[in-house]
Structure 1
Amino acid sequence: MAPTAPRLRILSVGGNAVSAFLSWRLQATNACDVTLVWKSGFDAVSQYGISFKSSAFGNERFKPRHVVRTPEDAAATKEGAFDYVLLCVKALPDIYDLAAVIESVVTPQHTCILVNTTHTLGVEAHLEQRFPTNVVLSLVSGAELTQLGVSEFEHKASTEVWVGAANKNAAIPASIQQDMAEALAMTLSTGQVDCKVSRNIRQQQYERMIGPIAFHPLSVLMETPSHAALLEKTAVAPMIKDVMDELLRIAEAQECVFPKGFKEKTIEEMVRPSESNSIMYQDFMARRPMEVETYLGSPIKLAQAVGLKVPRIETLYALLHSVNIANQQKPKEAPVTPAVNGNGQFPTRLSSAPAPRPPMNGPPNGMMNGRGRGRAPSMGPPPGMRRGGPMNGAPNGYGRPMPNGYGSRQQSRRGSIDNDLADEFSHVVLYDDIPEGGSQMGDDLALRERELMLRQREINMREQEMRMRRGPPPPGPGPRRGGATPSIRNGGFDDDDDDDDEYFDPTSRPAPPLIDPDNFDMMSVTSRRTRKAPSISQGQMRNNPE
């Protein structure tokens, strides 16, 4: 029996689309044992694997040989050294050390490090310095990949992938670098991936990165996610073109060649409508660290290595670096909780107890402030001053803000006090629409005014009910006791639910004798009402129909 060919041991580090796609196609070759480092959604990937919807390979779910949370967990398996380590993580040199991420799984003079540089520049130098006896290759993916869920991805169109060495290593012959790149390309080709070995991987890197480097930092600085709208801003289009010219000069100094019209074609592709904002703008809005070093810091270092001046890139680097730090230091938006007044206290709530009942017949002799028995005027502000808003105008009975500089009508955005009391009672009352900086005196006046208006309205309704119970006035003309019905024209109470033009005031009959509320016996009244009336014969009814 022929001996079994040794299988390549591959470790893929990174929970993203490129890492999942390469792991899927390498596993499909049946010549590789793939260990996948997947941190976010580890349980789902470990148990069910990763699913792909692909226009080229169909729909498939695959499960790597091993799924671990960290590279250290992969190193603890002790099944032998890894032949290839695919590093597909976001490059943030100012946040963490890329070399430290894979240090535990790199075997000197054996492991080949393949770093994904599809969206970055200049990260290879640090890895080559940290691992001088290991081959470091760069990868640029041209496949269109979309992440649909934690472990679900979609692949469209191309499967083009380029691999190659970005820098020459004096400790490693160029022939060994070429052999390692060709071996990986051959393996990926077995998995139906169009993998090519590039003689100058910088060419593919600049072709992918010149557009994003010119647009994405300015998009963040201008806070304009739309690239088409960004070009319309004053002096932005010339700035973008100048940044692209500086990048093209750096690339040409590194033996890259670009076709005529490359800059115009790149701009056209960048302003094409997209379903989502750029990754850098998403990081900016989420206050996550942005790729400032790999987008702008690395081109500056590359320019210095070839002796070029790049003043516009240096300016963008200084500005974006400052914005990146300030954006991460911004306080998180506090959850919406009950607001407090200017004294640091919760605003006073209206009592839920009913107001004291007024006398049945109002003031003595039926007079209301000298206005007779008509509708009583409002006890609120004097004539000419606008009264408070309608009953449902503001939550919890709080009136509109006073038009005297005590605050605006905008909802309070201040952080609430850190108090368990606020959280416990936040479901009971909403403290919005409270003017910021308002004084306690202003709040008390508004509440007092509302109380008085509610009491006056109750008095008016009870008087109207009693008058209608007295019945119609006797026939014949008679003088009308009481003055004219007050309206908003003469300073009366104007309720939104009433119609002054259709108001009926049955007050033409004489007023009944006054009742002293202190000596009034309600039980005697109710007992007379419930007492059985004597029967009336039909003869009596004909003699006295009333």
Structure 2
Amino acid sequence: MRVLIVGTGAIGGFYGALLARAGAEVAVVCRSDYEVVKSCGIRIQSPLGQWTFRPQAVYRRAGEVSVSPDYVVVCTKVLPQIDRAALIREAVGERTAIVLIQNGVEIENELAAAFPNRELISGLAFVCVSRTAPGQIRHQAYGGLKFGVFPSGISPRVEALCQAFERAGVKAEATSDIVAARWGKCVWNAAFNPLSVLSGGLTTDWLLTQEGLIRAVMAEVCAIAAALGHPLPEDVIEQNIASTRRMPPYQTSMLLDFEAGRPLETEAILGNAVRAAQRAGVSVPHLESLYALMKLRELAAQSRL
């Protein structure tokens, strides 16, 4: 299995390292950490062990790849200013499957339109992991994955990808309704990511002191999913609350990006959800408030630059 990881931050570095552990040939496209990763690899600290992931090749851009991979795995942030299709186009061959391990809802259409004749595998990571320094990744908890063909179905390539991750020691599930799975993950993301920023930097354990608000946001996400024809399990909110209580105090990815002055995935996580609700005629006052407050928070941060 030949894999190219595009976006070698916390998610890309961690899951690329796991695929390499499973025996895949893993190369990476690395921008900000290029020199460190090329010379020293990526150091992983995890309950699964501590090791250094040394990619088969390290590139500055996908166009440097000489042989098209079996899978191009996109792990960049989903931001309006990032043209994901352009980032990977030169590496995508006739038999390349495109894999997204990214946050947000309704994020696949851009890639589906750009590569109509390629298999598009949408994926979700349920993990507490962060990049602590150039070439340094800390995995704290969880790590499970879900994959499915977009817009629906399970293919042999999805199954092979899941099997590779299973060999590396993490649970990887194939699902025929990856769109529902995305809304399922948004139940957590839409609540905890923006609240971690708006609260001034609180970790998940402190955010749970406002459980009523969190549950209200989660219920609105469930209502959108149901209106779009992807109803979520009745216990999805209870499961998310319980799993958050079990995890160590965690700074969300959005909070880490905010504190580092990086762009935020506000549109992918909140904006897309609010727009979907408007199309479906679903009332989501809590989501709309969080979205507006996050846009104001971003404006305030930009005004200080």
The answer, yes or no, to whether TM exceeds 0.5 is yes
Matched, 1:201 2:188: no
Question: Could you tell me which amino acid in structure 1 is paired with residue 269 of structure 2?
Answer: Y
Matched, 1:318 2:302: no
Question: Could you tell me which amino acid in structure 2 is paired with residue 114 of structure 1?
Answer: V
Distance 1:230 1:53, change over 3 A: closer
Judging by fraction of residues, say which structure has more helix.
2
1:196-253: CA deviation from partner (whole Å, max 9, x where unpaired): 2112224443343313312432453454635666677xxx765443322211112234
Matched, 1:120 2:104: yes
Distance 1:143 1:220, change over 3 A: closer
Aligned pairs (5 A) from 1:194-343: 194-221=171-198, 223=200, 225=202, 239-253=213-227, 254-260=229-235, 262-264=236-238, 266-267=240-241, 270=244, 275=249, 277-331=251-305
CA distance in 2, matches of 1:164, 1:326: 38
1:70-93: CA deviation from partner (whole Å, max 9, x where unpaired): 22333xxx2x32221000111112
Which segments of 5 or more consecutive residues in structure 2 lack a partner in the other structure?
A: none
Confirm or deny: 8 A CA contact 1:54 1:156 kept in the other structure: yes
Deviation, 1:182, is 1.6
1:385-434: CA deviation from partner (whole Å, max 9, x where unpaired): xxxxxxxxxxxxxxxxxxxxxxxxxxxxxxxxxxxxxxxxxxxxxxxxxx
Q: Kindly name which structure, 1 or 2, has the bigger radius of gyration based on alpha carbons.
A: 1
CA distance in 2, matches of 1:52, 1:62: 7
CA distance in 1, matches of 2:272, 2:58: 33
- Equivalent in the alignment of 1:150: 134
Which segments of 5 or more consecutive residues in structure 1 lack a partner in the other structure?
A: 1-7, 169-173, 332-546
3-state SS in 2 of match to 1:142? strand
Question: Could you tell me which amino acid in structure 1 is paired with residue 126 of structure 2?
Answer: G
3-state SS in 1 of match to 2:8? coil
Question: Could you tell me which amino acid in structure 2 is paired with residue 255 of structure 1?
Answer: H
Confirm or deny: 8 A CA contact 2:254 2:264 kept in the other structure: yes
Matched, 1:185 2:162: yes
- Equivalent in the alignment of 1:136: 120
Deviation, 1:66, is 0.7
Aligned pairs (5 A) from 1:427-438: none
Deviation, 1:189, is 3.5
CA distance in 1, matches of 2:61, 2:230: 38
Confirm or deny: 8 A CA contact 2:192 2:252 kept in the other structure: no
TM-score by length of 2: 0.83
Confirm or deny: 8 A CA contact 1:203 1:251 kept in the other structure: yes
Question: Could you tell me which amino acid in structure 1 is paired with residue 12 of structure 2?
Answer: S
- Equivalent in the alignment of 1:27: 20
CA distance in 2, matches of 1:136, 1:243: 30
Confirm or deny: 8 A CA contact 2:44 2:50 kept in the other structure: yes
CA distance in 1, matches of 2:95, 2:289: 42
Confirm or deny: 8 A CA contact 1:15 1:40 kept in the other structure: no
Judging by fraction of residues, say which structure has more strand.
2
Distance 1:250 1:149, change over 3 A: same
Matched, 1:62 2:53: yes
CA distance in 2, matches of 1:144, 1:124: 23
Matched, 1:101 2:78: no
CA distance in 1, matches of 2:141, 2:296: 39
Matched, 1:88 2:75: yes
Distance 1:271 1:22, change over 3 A: closer
3-state SS in 2 of match to 1:81? coil
For this pair of structures, how many residues does the alignment match?
Answer: 304
Confirm or deny: 8 A CA contact 1:140 1:162 kept in the other structure: yes
Distance 1:272 1:298, change over 3 A: same
Question: Could you tell me which amino acid in structure 2 is paired with residue 324 of structure 1?
Answer: E
Aligned pairs (5 A) from 1:414-433: none
- Equivalent in the alignment of 1:47: 39
CA distance in 2, matches of 1:229, 1:60: 32
Which protein, 1 or 2, shows the higher relative CO under an 8 Å CA cutoff with sep ≥ 6?
A: 2
Deviation, 1:115, is 0.5
Percent sequence identity over aligned pairs: 29
Question: Could you tell me which amino acid in structure 1 is paired with residue 286 of structure 2?
Answer: R
Distance 1:112 1:221, change over 3 A: same
Identify which of 63, 72, 75 aligns with 1:72.
63
